[in-house]
Amino acid sequence: MGPLMQGVLTILIGVFGCVGYFYFSNLVLDRLIFPARNDDAGRNINRANAVRPWLFLAPALFALCLYLVYPVVGSFWRSMYDRSGDVFVGMQNYKNLSVDPEFRSAVFNNFLWVLIVPAMATFLGLVIAQLTDKLKWGGIAKSLIFMPMAISFVGASLIWKFVYSNDPNIGMLNAIRIFFGADSPIDPLQVPFWNNVFLMVILIWIQTGFAMVILSAALRGIPEETIEAAILDGANPFQIFFKIQVPQIMGTILVVWTTITILVLKVFDIVYTMTGGNFGTQILPSYMMEYMFRDDGRATAVALVIMVLVLPVMIWNIAQARKEMR
Amino acid sequence: MAELKLTDVAKAYGPVKVLSDINLEIERGELIVFVGPSGCGKSTLLRMIAGLEKISGGELQIDGQVVNNVPPAQRGIAMVFQSYALYPHMTVRENMSFALKISGKSKDEISQAVNRAAKILQLEPYLDRLPKALSGGQRQRVAIGRSIVRDPKVYLFDEPLSNLDAALRVATRIEIAQLKEQMPDSTMIYVTHDQVEAMTLASRIVVLAGGGIAQVGTPLELYERPENTFVAQFIGSPQMNLLAGKVVGTGAQTRIALPEGQGTILSNVPTRDSDMGAEVEVGIRPEDMIQTGGPDYAYSGVVEIKEALGEVTLLYFKKQQPEHDPVIAKLPGIHTGVRGRTLKMTADPAKVHLFRNGQSLLYRT
Ligand SMILES: Nc1ncnc2c1ncn2[C@@H]1O[C@H](COP(=O)(O)OP(=O)(O)O)[C@@H](O)[C@H]1O
Ligand SMILES: [Mg+2]
């Protein structure tokens, strides 16, 4: 059987399996378990209605447990074993992390990433959304700015490797430096501290398009009359933007901000491909990748640390998004 | 001197002409109502006065100054939008203070102005609420308050009542009339498509139609002496009956023969000898129709539908030509047993309007 047939068969089984499950489980519930007959008819209908939601939710809950809850519990369990997974070491992996200077530097760098990348991407996205909204060629500008979203992180890193290349004939950064009279090229990725910023620029470059698209839609949702009223009230364009428009889309801004924050805590590709975490650029996801397959106990411990960091942002993000939808 | 003067004002969106040849003078303290069917350019004209739309042609003066290119905030106008346009993230107090804060007024001045406006509009209990916690009528009052604190020369209202329910609309209309009385020196321009609002509020009404002004006048002038059939039919409800007729006697009074019903009737509109035999349109308002047994009558027809409202009875006559509107009579009191009967209707010669090619014969030069 060819892979195509296999795929088609899987789809068919999946789709009809779902329909069949809902249809027959419902039938069993209504006809066999709580039949609406005889003296108990009324009570049975009520009982069937109480059970039905759980019956229909069961497959989703099962999948959720299988693919979300089990891995979390499993990871936690694994993080208490040594690198080969044979010896129970309790909290030893976490203790090791807390004294590892590389881990500490990863936490510090990640903190910088969380501080800078979402703020910059959101700010630039907002400004670009506003500036391109009224322009004739704004649509073209927007598509260009959105395009990096379609590139994988590794692909983006490769592009920026050229920008940061220490050959001034290739690297734009060095070309500019030489143009302004610097005598020798440098390797931007080895400049302490600033190399972190150079790496962040890549993610900002990717995420600005996302922020721009969402915020542009939000800006369009603002009633035109409130802006006209502000014009009549004598507000200048800056006042209109910061005092009338931005406050009205604050909810969306926060959702975009936190969504990028969560992303920042997950992206390992950029650091992994650009510097491999060397030269003081390590962050948590790439630190985790470094230990994966070599010391799964420690890697899972890092994964759980990341999860604990992401969780509050996530909860807040969802709450905010819900408020927006109302 | 006129507070507001429009000279040959025109508006076009590219090749689409929306308004042209608007000439209008508005005196200080007037409440002018722009009225007209939906899409006739009322909002556009108001927004040009506000400065939210560019003026494509002609000149706009406010207080003797040409303001075509003066930014909206410096024209001394304030506008109340149909959708209220309150700033949703600001409290009522902040909404009303915004313009003053922008213009750099002191805290004391601002709170004084806001409190005064809040008192006039009975908004004091709501000053710290957000707009979403207010009812439609209260939001409208906040929008008005936002204008009042700026103490503008001219107030602009764009259909301010159309988002309110019927009962609230009447109450708010009366409030606006009272507000105007408290501020006799402020000039107001009020846009509506509702003729009752126009008739009850206006010191003068500007009827807009077909991209221009159809007539300007006091409410009663428009009702008693409409310049053209559009105004004649737009003002008054049910609309004025228009019947085809032919001039058969001229002079200080005019006698017209009406082929539909074979009657003749007198009108106080004077005509010249040269009008003899001219085709005219005879306009009679439903409420001016009188049942008659005499020799002079304007219309004779079968009553097809009767609507008894108690205080008045509306009679709809059977159409004699399918493309015509039915002739309607509005008789005071209760009338029983008229359905299916043939009635002859006439009117006081003073209430019979004459139009030729859509223009009233009263205003001929
Ligand atoms: N931005 C625009 N571009 C083209 N036509 C417009 C524009 N705005 C309004 N119009 C047209 O101008 C006419 C008058 O509109 P408006 O002033 O809103 O009418 P209303 O009397 O109902 O307030 C309408 O026919 C409308 O289609
Ligand atoms: Mg309008």
Architecture (CATH level 2) of domain B234-363: Beta Barrel (2.40)
Q: What is the pLDDT of residue A317?
A: 84
Question: What is the DSSP code string of B236-294?
Answer: SSSPPEEEEEEEEE-BSSEEEEETTTTEEEEESS-B-GGGTT-EEEEEE-GGG-EE--S
Residues A70 and A156 in one domain: no
Substitution target in B79, B130, B159, B189 with the highest count of A β-carbons within 10 Å is: B79
A237 inside domain: yes
Closest residue (by CA) to atom 27 of ligand 1? B39
Q: Mean pLDDT over all residues of chain B?
A: 93
Burial label for B175, CB within 10 Å (0-12, 13-18, 19+), is: middle
Closest residue (by CA) to atom 24 of ligand 1? B39
Chain A residues touching residue B83 (CB < 8 angstroms): 223, 225
Q: What is the pLDDT of residue A320?
A: 83
Burial label for A324, CB within 10 Å (0-12, 13-18, 19+), is: middle
Q: Do B89 and A247 touch (CB under 8 A)?
A: yes
Cα dist. A186→A156, A163, A321 in Å? 21, 12, 44
Q: What is the pLDDT of residue B1?
A: 57
Q: What is the pLDDT of residue B320?
A: 82
Helix (H, G, I), strand (E, B) or coil at B296: coil
Q: What is the pLDDT of residue B54?
A: 94
Query: Hey, what amino acid is at B332?
Result: P
A83 inside domain: no
Residues A184 and A301 in one domain: yes
A84 inside domain: no
Q: Which domain holds residue A71?
A: 3-78
Closest CA to B150 of B121, B181, B198, B109: B109
Does residue B192 have its Cβ closer than 6 Å to ligand 1? no
A102 inside domain: yes
* Counted domains in chain A: 2
Question: What is the Cβ-side half-sphere exposure of residue A223, based on CA atoms within 13 angstroms?
Answer: 13
Q: What is the pLDDT along chain B (365 residues), one digit of tens a residue?
A: 568 999 999 999 999 999 999 999 999 999 999 999 999 999 999 999 999 999 999 999 999 999 999 999 999 999 999 999 999 999 999 999 999 999 999 999 999 999 999 998 999 999 999 999 999 889 999 999 999 999 999 999 999 998 888 888 898 899 899 989 988 999 999 999 999 999 999 999 999 998 999 999 999 999 999 999 999 999 998 999 999 999 999 999 999 999 877 789 999 999 999 999 999 999 999 999 999 988 889 999 999 999 999 999 999 999 888 888 899 999 999 998 888 999 999 999 999 999 999 999 999 87
CA of B44 to the centre of ligand 1 (A): 6
Residues A124 and A65 in one domain: no
Considering chain B, tell me which residue range(s) the CATH 3.40.50.300 domain(s) occupy. 4-233
A39 inside domain: yes
Angle CA B345–B347–B351, to nearest 5: 150
Question: Which of A229, A232, A248 is opposite residue B89, by nearest beta carbon?
Answer: A248
CA of B53 to the centre of ligand 1 (A): 11
Mean pLDDT, consecutive 10-residue segments, chain A of 326 residues?
A: 89 91 90 81 86 90 92 93 89 93 94 95 96 87 92 93 90 89 87 93 96 95 95 95 95 92 91 91 92 91 92 88 77
Helix A101-133 vs helix A92-99: crossing angle, to nearest 10:
70
Which residue(s) pair with B245 in the sheet? B280
Considering chain B, tell me which residue range(s) the CATH 2.40.50.140 domain(s) occupy. 234-363
A215 inside domain: yes
Report the atom number in ligand 1 closest to the C-alpha of B158.
23
Residue spans of beta strands (DSSP E) within chain A? none
Question: What is the DSSP code string of A77-125?
Answer: HHTTB-TTS-SB-TTHHHHHHHH-HHHHHHHHHHHHHHHHHHHHHHHHH
The domain B4-233: what is its CATH number?
Answer: 3.40.50.300
Angle CA A126–B50–B126, to nearest 5: 70
Query: Hey, what amino acid is at A193?
Result: F
Q: Could you say which of A78, A102, A124 is where a domain stops?
A: A78
Stated pTM of the model: 0.81
CA-based max dimension of chain A: 97
Does residue B40 have its Cβ closer than 6 Å to ligand 1? yes
d(CA B39, CA B48): 15
CA of B17 to the centre of ligand 1 (A): 10
A28 inside domain: yes
Chain A residues touching residue B113 (CB < 8 angstroms): none
